[in-house]
A = this chain, B = another copy of it.
Amino acid sequence: MDDARSTSPRIHGTIAHDIGVEIVGGVRKPGDVFGGEIEASEQLGISRTAYREAIRILSAKGLVESRPKAGTRVTARHRWNLLDPDVLAWTFEGEPDPEFILDLFELRGVIEPAAAAFAARRRTQAQLDDMKAALDDMGRLGLADSEGRAADQRFHRAILAAAGNEALAALASSVGAAVSWTTKYKQRTRALPRDPLPDHILVHEAIVARDDQAAHDAMAHLLHLALADMDLPART
Instruction: Identify which of residues 162-183 in chain A touch chain B, using a CB-to-CB cut-off of 8 Å.
Output: 165-171, 175
Knowing A56-B60, A110-B110 are in contact, say whether A82-B49 is a contact too (CB < 8 A): no
Count A-side interface residues using an 8 Å CB cutoff: 43
Contact A168–B103 (Cβ < 8 Å): yes
CB of A204, distance to nearest CB on chain B (Å): 20
Q: How far is the CA of A166 from the CA of B67 in the complex (A)?
A: 27
**In-complex Cβ contact of A52 among B53, B85, B99 (8 A):** B53
Instruction: Identify which of residues 82-124 in chain A touch chain B, using a CB-to-CB cut-off of 8 Å.
Output: 82-86, 99-100, 103-104, 106-107, 110-111, 114, 118, 121-122
Contact A85–B78 (Cβ < 8 Å): no
Render A38-70 as a binary contact track against B, CB cut-off 8 A, 1 for contact. Answer: 000000000001001100110111100001000
**In-complex Cβ contact of A85 among B7, B81, B99, B114 (8 A):** B81
Binding site for B on A (CB under 8 A): 7, 12, 16, 49, 52-53, 56-57, 59-62, 67, 77-78, 80-86, 99-100, 103-104, 106-107, 110-111, 114, 118, 121-122, 165-171, 175, 236
CB of A38, distance to nearest CB on chain B (Å): 15
Q: How far is the CA of A162 from the CA of B50 in the complex (A)?
A: 41
Question: What residues of B have a CB within 8 angstroms of the CB of A62 in the complex?
Answer: 85
